[in-house]
Amino acid sequence: MKADRNDSREPSSDRPALHSSLTLLERARAGDREALESLIARYLPRLQRWASGRLPPWARDMAETQDLVQEALFQTFKRIERFEPRGEGALHAYLRQAILNRIREELRRTRRRPARSELDSAAEADGRSPLEQAIGQEAIDRYERALAQLRPDDRELVVARIELGYTNREIAELLDKPTPNAARMATERAVVRLAKEMGKTNT
């Protein structure tokens, strides 16, 4: 089958193996430090890449991204007893939300810090994350609101594909889709639903 041929070319090194994350999570909850660290190591690179699109340049330049994401992951995994993941995909969406919350919190805190008088319009633009610069805060809000309205499985598909850049094969594994093709199709549907939901909040 063509699909297999294609997807076998995908790098598999950073693809978390099915179920093992959940096993690690179990152990981390039970206080296994090693399990916690390997979980963080597993998710950090991808979530860091993701966070770089969400942080203003000064935050990225200050190498805070790594710390911030790492810290958020650490905190999240430690407090994760409140979360019963249905699967890997759900875990991803959960972590992504946790980090997003952490970033917002951080931005609220730091935005109060810079001296207002020195801000000109360029600096203002500088203070905006790449995502904000690309589509504007209003569209981000619309997107986030719509994302929250989606059914969990759709939300997880969107996050995995659009934000975290998983391949169809990886999504199939993460979200228990029978084949990469089915994963692609399900994601496509989810994206259309998301756009419709965004269109609704727009009115």
Partner 1 sequence: MIENERVLHDVAGALMDGAPVDWASAESKADDESMRRIVRELKVIAAIADVHGTSAVSSDSPSVDAEAGNLSSGQQPRDSVGAESPAQVHGTWGALRLLEKIGEGAFGEVHRAWDTRLDREVALKLLYRQDMPRAREASAVIDEGRMLAQVRHPNVLTVHGADRCDGRVGVWTEFIHGRTLEQLLQERGAFGAGEATLIGLDVCRALSAVHRAGLLHRDIKAHNVMREHGGRIVLMDFGTGIHYVDSNDSTAGLAGTPLYMAPEVLEGREATVRSDVYSVGVLLYHLVTGSYPISGHSVQEIRAKHSQGERTFLRDARPALPDDFVQIVERALSPELERRYESAGAMEAAVASAKEAPRSIGATTARGAVVRPAVDRALPLESAERTRWRPRILAIVAVLVVLAGAGSLWLAARKSDPPVIAVLPFKNLSAEPDSDYFVDGLTDEVIRNLSVIDGLFVRSSASSFAFKNKNPSPRDVSAQLNASLVLSASVLRAGTRLRIDAQLVRAADDLPLWSARYDRELKDVFAIQDEISRSIVNELRLKLGRGQRRYAANVEAYDQYLKARVLQARRGPATGQAIELFEQVVAKDPTFAPGYAARASAYGYYLAMQVPSIGGLPVSVDQAHGIVRRDALEAIQLDPLLAEAHDAVGWVKSLDLEWAEAEKSFRRAIELNPSLTTTSTDFVLSTLLPEGKLGEALRVLDDALHADPLSADARRTMSMVQISARQYDAALDNCRRAIELDRELHTANTRCEQALIHKGQVAEAIAMMEKFIADTPALKAGGGRGYGYLGYAYAISGRRAEAEAQAVRNEGLPHHQAMIYGGLGDKERAFAAIEQLAAVNPQRALSFLTRPELAVLRGDPRVTALQRKFGVLR
**Which residues of the shown chain bind partner 1 in the complex (CB under 8 A)?**
1-3, 5-7, 9-10, 49-50, 53, 130-131, 134-135, 139, 142-143, 149, 151, 161-168, 176-182, 184-189, 191-192, 194-196, 198-200, 202
Cβ closest to partner 1, residue 4 vs residue 61 = 4
Cβ closest to partner 1, residue 114 vs residue 199 = 199
Which single residue is written with the structure tokens 């916690």?
A: 36
Cα gap 46→143, rounded to integer Å: 21
Closest approach of partner 1 to the CB of residue 28, in Å: 25
What are the angstrom distances between the C-alpha of 129 and each of 57, 62, 120, 123? 6, 14, 17, 12
Closest approach of partner 1 to the CB of residue 22, in Å: 15
Closest approach of partner 1 to the CB of residue 151, in Å: 7
Closest approach of partner 1 to the CB of residue 143, in Å: 6
Copy the structure tokens of residue 118.
Answer: 């020195």
Q: How many of the other CB atoms lie within 10 Å of CB of 22?
A: 16
Cβ closest to partner 1, residue 35 vs residue 60 = 60
Cα gap 18→182, rounded to integer Å: 17
Helix 33-52 and helix 64-78: axis angle, to 10°?
A: 140
Please report the DSSP string for 49-88 in residue order: HHHHTTS-HHHHHTTHHHHHHHHHHHHHHHTGGG---SSH
Closest approach of partner 1 to the CB of residue 158, in Å: 8
Cβ closest to partner 1, residue 26 vs residue 141 = 141
Cβ closest to partner 1, residue 114 vs residue 165 = 165
